[in-house]
A and B are shown apart, each in its own frame.
Chain A
Amino acid sequence: QSVLTQPPSASGTPGQRVTISCSGSSSNIGSNTVNWYQQLPGTAPKLLIHSNNQRPSGVPDRFFGSRSGTSASLAISGLQSEDEADYYCAAWDDSLDGHVFGGGTKLTVL
């Protein structure tokens, strides 16, 4: 059972907008910044969003991160087939004194 809760799966058709949620608590999302990672099949994770809503260089602006209270969301607009991957949210947890990941959401592009 992960400290951060994500839906196990999500799906959409090309061009659609999809949102993936991440629910936490006051000790993690509620008091620390959220990061999002994309993991394509058979590859290492890649940082998509850091500090709640900041995109590293090279990440398309189709990816948008937000945080409200103890929850966060990753929105992907203009869905493309190459977006099919696992997505993980993460944050520092003050109570556990460590970093925590969500369980991951498998995104399928129909």
Chain B
Amino acid sequence: QVQVVESGGGVVQPGRSLRLSCAASGFTLSRHGMHWVRQAPGKGLEWVAVMWYDGSKKKYVESVKGRFTISRDNSKSTLFLQMNSLRAEDTAVYYCARDVGLTSNGMDVWGQGTTVTVSS
């Protein structure tokens, strides 16, 4: 069964760090682009980052550039999102999603999400 499962969310103070994980199963991670998308409470979807299938490119939404890093461990079929210098506005449900293709063409497999709350 093709699926992705996120973990690593929690409550963290402003300025601290958190690393999210996304375990993929039923498909080969290195054959798809992979995304992180977030949704703040009561708000719409916001794309956060993408990694090309071969890891050659990583793209980020402007608001997280320099603070967040997307990475992947193919041997463990796991995608990561390292989040540093967290801010209150980063509070959201974070979804991991598989791209239908190699780069960024649409997200066809979504996880259930993991909640990140940034608060003092």
CB within 8 Å of B: which residues of A?
A: 2, 33, 35, 37, 39, 44-47, 50-51, 56, 86, 88, 90, 92, 96-104
Task: Check A44–B113 contact: CB distance below 8 A.
Answer: yes
Task: Check B44–A44 contact: CB distance below 8 A.
Answer: no
For B46, the chain A residues whose CB sits under 8 A away are: 101
For B111, the chain A residues whose CB sits under 8 A away are: 44
For B23, the chain A residues whose CB sits under 8 A away are: none
Measured CA separation A20–B35 after assembly (Å): 25
Contact flags B80-120 to A (C-beta < 8 A → 1, else 0): 00000000000000010100100011111011110000000
For B106, the chain A residues whose CB sits under 8 A away are: 33, 35, 47, 50-51, 90
What is the predominant secondary structure among interface residues of chain A facing chain B? strand
Measured CA separation A37–B110 after assembly (Å): 11
What is the predominant secondary structure among interface residues of chain B facing chain A? strand
Can you name the residue of chain B whose Cβ is closest to the Cβ of A105?
Answer: B44
- Min CB gap A87→B, angstroms: 11
Measured CA separation A82–B97 after assembly (Å): 23
- Min CB gap B120→A, angstroms: 28
Interface assignment of B67: CB less than 8 Å from any CB of chain A: no
For B59, the chain A residues whose CB sits under 8 A away are: 97-99
For A2, the chain B residues whose CB sits under 8 A away are: 44
Task: Check B105–A100 contact: CB distance below 8 A.
Answer: no
Task: Identify B95's interface contact among A35, A45, A56, A103, CB under 8 A.
Answer: A45
Task: Identify A90's interface contact among B47, B100, B113, CB under 8 A.
Answer: B47
- Min CB gap B23→A, angstroms: 15
